[in-house]
Structure 1
Amino acid sequence: MSKSLKALLTILIICLITTGCSVKTEQPENGVTDAAPKADNSQEKGIIKVIEFDDSQKKIIRGIGGSPDDIFYFEYDGIPIEYNWLEVWIEYYEKGQKTSKLLSINEGAAKDGSIICRFEDIDNKTRITINGSSLLKEKPIMEQSVTTNKKNDSPILCDSDTEFLLAVRVVDGGNSSAIIPDEIFTNQTIGDQELYQNDYVYLVKGRFYSK
């Protein structure tokens, strides 16, 4: 498949997601991930929620060459007006060591909007796309590999510019179980013991900030 066709499929998938999904309106209960201490209870808080695809959306995504498991889709609402910019980035670890920030996007943020991150394989490269901006990265050479993805299913509360963790992607050489601890979204330091033992780890992170 040509690169131009791959790019077109990415655009089609993003259009499908943004027009075919809507955020649920229920209020957060137990399991909420707080992105920052509650310094002022009177301050309005934004909320970020993962959006799951229904069966018909999954069928369409697969039909145009995509995989629903490789797309992380979140919607946010009620972000305090002073936090008018959004940064989302990929933090990359290789063989237990943090190597770089692979891809970072900064864009104006309204009170409500969406965050879409997609991974796709193109020949011997991996394309990472965040809200329409993309990066091509050489794939690690492995005879066998196990890829495991995990999204933050708990609503994330945002009332400051503290960073939050949206999703984790692990690629292993088939010699481990590619463990992603459930606690990684509530206690991010736990990854030092378990998560980074994997071969290649991608963290999808973000923050709202004032500019």
Structure 2
Amino acid sequence: MYIIIVGCGRLGSNLAKQLSDEGHDVCIIDRDSNKLSVLGTGFNGLRLKGIEFDNDKLMEAGINQADALLAVSSDDNINITVSLIAEKIYHVPNVISRVSEPGKEYIYDKLGIKTLKTINIGIANLKRMLNLNKVNVIHSIDEDFEIVDVLVGKEIKATVDNIEKNCSCIISFIVCGEDKLIPQKNQIVHSGDRIICTMQKKNMDALINMVGKGTIL
């Protein structure tokens, strides 16, 4: 997945490094070269210095080929402007913007921009919104419980029983290629399998951390 990140503050820089380390193609834009330097020599993505909503800079970033754009600067005006350009002009499939000042949240809502509220800002939440962890919510039972379809992204060498106990979930069945299997407690789950389970939303990160990290398939 090719992802453009606007804003190289604490959230943007950490997100850029993590997504790049996981194998995604990442470009990050910020007008402050000092912030971009924080990424260090280990960052394998593209870093661009310039006005974040400048059309030439966005074209240099490859916005017309981007799968997603994350506007996570601390300036709501920048985030709103870039998000609208990405959505309305370049039709980027997935655009998510950070709401820096809660009082401006209504502007995002009125413009129909998908947002991550300041109180919920975090890399795990952003990745979930982008579906980078390959989680598909099949059905929301209520405010607390949902049925999910999760792709196992690494060879974890764990049994069904291990996953259920560690993640407080109930696995209904496992999809192995074209086969759908009713799981046995001692059955080992492998990379590439999909597990269908019922769980509390609050335990989703535990499940993703256990089965979804590593190589994204």
TM value normalised by structure 1? 0.22
Greater per-residue strand proportion: 1
Q: In proportion to residue count, which structure has more helix? A: 2
Higher relative contact order (CA 8 A, sep 6+): 1
What TM-score comes out, normalization by structure 2 length?
A: 0.22
Bigger Rg, structure 1 or 2: 2
